[in-house]
A and B are shown apart, each in its own frame.
Chain A
Amino acid sequence: MNKFLQNDYLSLLVRLFIGGIFIYASLDKIYHPSEFARIVYNYHLAPGDLVNLVAIILPWLELVCGISVVLGLYKEGGIAIISFLTVVFIVAIGINVIRGVDLECGCFTVSSKARGNALSLLFRDLGLLAICIYAWLNRSKRFFLFKQ
């Protein structure tokens, strides 16, 4: 079990996967802040005054942490933030599933056509969280671009 947890290659794969997903997810939102702000507003979770700040900062946080995890630079911190964000997404989607809101995910694109089934979104994020936990437990430092 410990061998599996600390496998160097699996560690690299997981880092590329999680980091890649967050980098990819951030780009469309960085390019379209006003559309993303509308999506954040429609979640009805952030207070009105904070909606734009969330829409401005969140995609960059995803990008910076994604890069950090891929490069292995501050990976511990990057994985911690990404795990936290994933939990926030799960809670946000969960609340809106309970409310019965037909929401735009705003996960990978700001296009309003991307109305996924909220339950499958939840399962997807739970899967991502499981992979994050693996990355959290894996302490392999091989394939880090920067050894701290």
Chain B
Amino acid sequence: MTKRLKQITLLILLSVVISIIFNFVSGNGIPLIGNWPAAGGSEVAVPPSAEEGDPPFISLDEAAALFQTPGVLFIDARDPEDFEINRVRGAVSIPYDYLPEEDYDLYWENKAIEISHDTRIVIYCSGSECELSLYLGRDMVLYGYEDVKVFYGGWSDWVNAGLPMELEE
């Protein structure tokens, strides 16, 4: 057993040394510590303008888990043209900037027929430079939706993680 351990140690040491040296001398080496976005995974991204009482923000992992959960509806708050091009698989579009200013109450009354108030909802927009998901989330809570979560990592984190999506034909 000690012989095997010795061999394992040697092989690992050899690989580490060769790989680091090769990475330095080869033309296409990469930095030893990469600059990968920290958001995503289990970290919860929260918009700078978040206030107390806002709907809860969720991490990429939570969003991915909810995506697998039956009955959870993903809502895309981006502009319709963005939604046309690509979206989270099965998401529906509620473009916040395009909602009617007049008869806003009526809009949500009609919406409640389509999407019932007890639906579990995850809202996203394009990512960390976008607050549409937060604004839409606040309004949906205001208009009676009981389970609204905001995935602030949004579309960019979703794509980076290679999670299921739909693209324009």
Contacts and interface: CB of A to CB of B under 8 A. Distances in A.
Contacts, number: 111
Which bracket fits the contact residues of A?
Answer: 35 or more
Contacts of B16: 57, 60-61
A60 B18 contact: yes
A51 B68 CA distance: 26
- The interface residues of chain A, by DSSP majority, are classed as helix
Contacts of B40: 44
B11 to A, nearest CB: 5
Contact of A48 (B18, B20, B31, B34): B34
A37 B19 contact: no
Interface of B: 3-12, 14-16, 18-20, 22-23, 28-34, 36-38, 40-41, 60-61, 64-65, 67-68, 160-164
Interface of A: 30-34, 37, 41-42, 44, 48-49, 51-53, 55-57, 59-61, 63-65, 68, 74, 76-78, 80-81, 98-104
- Return the 9 tightest CB-CB contacts between A and B, nearest first: A77-B7, A60-B19, A52-B34, A48-B36, A61-B15, A74-B7, A77-B8, A64-B15, A60-B15
